[in-house]
Homo-oligomer: A and B are copies of this chain.
C-alpha cells in the first residue's frame, strides 16, 4: 500500500522550476543518491550564498579539468609525478599493487608502508567487461623490469576478481626474480571471534603465527 502511494507520488512529481529539475537530475546520477536526497541537497545549496555555491560547482569542474595521474604509479596527483613517487625517503625496492587511489589513501593512513604504489585502476572482472588490457598491468611489468624492485606486495580485494588478478600478475612475474607477497589474512583486530566468517577463521588457524608475547 505504502509502496503504491510512493510510486504514484514519484510519477506525479513535478518540479516548479526547470533549473531546479535539471540540478536534481544531475545530483540523482550520483551513486546512492535518489531523487528525494537530490532535492534535499539542492535545496540546501540554494540556501547558501552565491559564492559558496559557485565554489562548490567550480571545485569539481576544476578537479576534472586539472587533475593529473602520476606517470609512474597512476595515483591521482597535482603534478606529473605524485608526492609518493617523488619522495626520496620512500623505499623504491618495494611496490604495493592496489586497485584504486582510495586503497592508496587507506594504506597510507596506516603509516605502516614506506614503499611505492602501483594503481591498477580496477581488477580483472569478465562479468563487467574488464580484462587485463584495461588495467595498468603491462606498465607494472615494465616498471619492474626497469627499476630496482625487489618485492611486489599484492593488496587487492579478497574477492574472486581480486584473486583472479593476483593470479594473473603472479603468472606475469613468475619468471622474474622478484619476491611476490600478499596481505596477511586473518581475524580483524577488534573483531569478536563469533562474528568472524568460517573461511577467514579457518585460514587464520591454518596460518597461525608464533606468539612471542607481543601483540
Using CB atoms and an 8 Å cutoff, list the residues of chain A in contact with chain B.
1-2, 5, 8-9, 12-20, 22-23, 25-27, 29-33, 37, 39-46, 48, 50, 53-67, 75-78, 82-84, 100-102, 104-106, 108-111, 189-190
Contacts and interface: CB of A to CB of B under 8 A. Distances in A.
A100 B39 CA distance: 12
A20 B26 CA distance: 20
Count of chain copies: 2
Contacts of A33: 41
A18 B61 contact: no
Q: Which 10 A-B pairs have the closest CB atoms?
A: A1-B190, A57-B57, A57-B61, A53-B64, A12-B109, A2-B190, A19-B63, A23-B63, A26-B59, A23-B59
A215 to B, nearest CB: 12
A32 B30 CA distance: 14
B1 A189 contact: yes
Chain A at the B interface: SS class: helix
Q: Which of A39, A50, A82, A101: most chain B Cβ within 10 A? A: A101
A82 B16 contact: yes
A58 B60 CA distance: 10
A94 to B, nearest CB: 18
A35 to B, nearest CB: 11
A189 B5 contact: yes
Nearest to A49: B64
Contacts of A27: 56, 60
